[in-house]
Amino acid sequence: MTLRTLGRASLKVTPLGMGCWPISGITSIDVNEADSLATIREAFDAGINFFDTAFCYGFDGESERMIARVLRQDRDKIVLATKGGIHWIEGKQARCGRPETLQSECDESLRRLQTDRIDLYYLHAPDPEVPIEESAGAIGELIRQGKVLSAGLSNASTELLARFHAVCPLTAYQPHFNMLQREIEDSQLPWCVEHGVAAVVYWPLMKGLLAGHLPREHVFNAKDGRRKYPMFSGDEWQRNQDFLDELRAMSIELGRPVSQIVLNWTIQRAGITVALCGAKRPHQIRENAEAMNWSLTLGEIARINAAIAARGPIVSKAAVS
């Protein structure tokens, strides 16, 4: 496994990182603290050195706090990314990109993470009420203060990326991306490649769909947040299962789990620097991490691309993660 450089920064990261939203237990079911802590430890032990969280991952910063509990002694061996600009008000997410909010949320994240610096600090999502130049300037000030080493932006258009970058040079951009949701390939991704900005993508397994474990007849729990996404119901669900049947056949032939095939394809995709994998259990992140240790052949990638093309256009729903 070869470490990759985040943009033009000096940060060296594994091609798979751990996305630490699921362990907060807000939208994922059957989450418990013991398994969440064990999953963080397993990710590190399996070779992952990049951990991605946010101020709003948990109603009281549960994700950031758990990372600190497990990895505080290994701080110099990991790269920590967190985000500011989204918080909870009466159980609902609210955006605020004002400089004073980003400053206070960064300070609180530093306390929760029990660290003296954040390696990569994102504006979690642009605030339509605040010019993005002001938010970018605030993160630039955090860098000047030494609290943050590099800047990131998530869930933004190409125009907003350019405007942010002009004020505070970006190290990374974080959008959703997977085999079935590839909109950024025609927009933000070429911009990132041109400007030396790393693409750190979430949802490479599309909230577990592309892990291949959910059977065609699966019935979602009423509390499962995935029920609201078109990908998990109706005709889209059936077409996705047809596509997954092709990947399941490859899984048998290669002797690799579907999840590893999907993740390996993702980190070999041109312009993608890191894929963030969420997990709730140690065995899940262990299986995912193994995808860094082998490579699909060009022929196998071509076969997957043909299956993606046969799947056809999808109904997509943008989200903030």
Q: Which residues are catalytic?
A: 57
CB 230 within 8 A of CB 236: yes
Token representation of residue 224: 């499962």
Q: Report the 10 Å Cβ neighbour count for 60.
A: 9
Q: How far apart are CA 304 and CA 302, in angstroms?
A: 5
Task: Please name the residue that has the structure tokens 């609180």.
Answer: 108
Task: Please name the residue that has the structure tokens 């101020």.
Answer: 55
Q: What DSSP string runs through 261-320?
A: HHHHHHHTSTTEEEEEEE-SSHHHHHHHHGGGG----HHHHHHHHHHHHHH---------
Which helix or strand (DSSP H or E) is residue 134 part of? helix 132-144
Phi/psi zone of residue 47: left (φ > 0), alpha (ψ -120 to 50 degrees), beta?
Answer: left
* CA 28 centroid distance within chain: 15
Q: How far apart are CA 154 and CA 134, in angstroms?
A: 16
